[in-house]
């Protein structure tokens, strides 16, 4: 899998050969520079479940903390 953040450059090996008899060939690597794609933030939360499920008392004051979710930008920089 291509991933700019973990490996921005990929070396792809090649073998090129002609159709002579005997055949001659050469090998090497092509340098492929990945271009960064802007990825959506990854949101995580404590506990189980596919969506954040938080609870708060109905008589809590306005502005009271309900819980905490964390968003991480997987892009560099």
* Footprint of Ca ion (CB under 5 A): 4, 36-37, 39, 75
Q: Which is nearer to Ca ion, 4 or 45 (CB)?
A: 4
d(CA 5, CA 74): 8
Q: Which is nearer to Ca ion, 2 or 70 (CB)?
A: 2
Q: Least Å distance between CB 10 and Ca ion?
A: 15
Q: Least Å distance between CB 36 and Ca ion?
A: 5
Distances (CA, A) of 40 to 50, 60, 71, 72: 17, 33, 10, 9
């Amino acid at each position: 899998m291509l991933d700019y953040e973990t490996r921005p450059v990929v070396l792809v090996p090649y073998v090129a050969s002609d159709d002579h008899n005997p055949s001659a060939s050469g090998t090497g690597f092509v340098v492929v520079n990945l271009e960064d794609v802007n990825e959506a933030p990854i949101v995580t939360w404590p506990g189980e479940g596919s969506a954040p499920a938080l609870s708060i008392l109905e008589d809590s004051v306005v502005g009271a903390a309900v819980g905490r979710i964390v968003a991480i930008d997987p892009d560099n920089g």
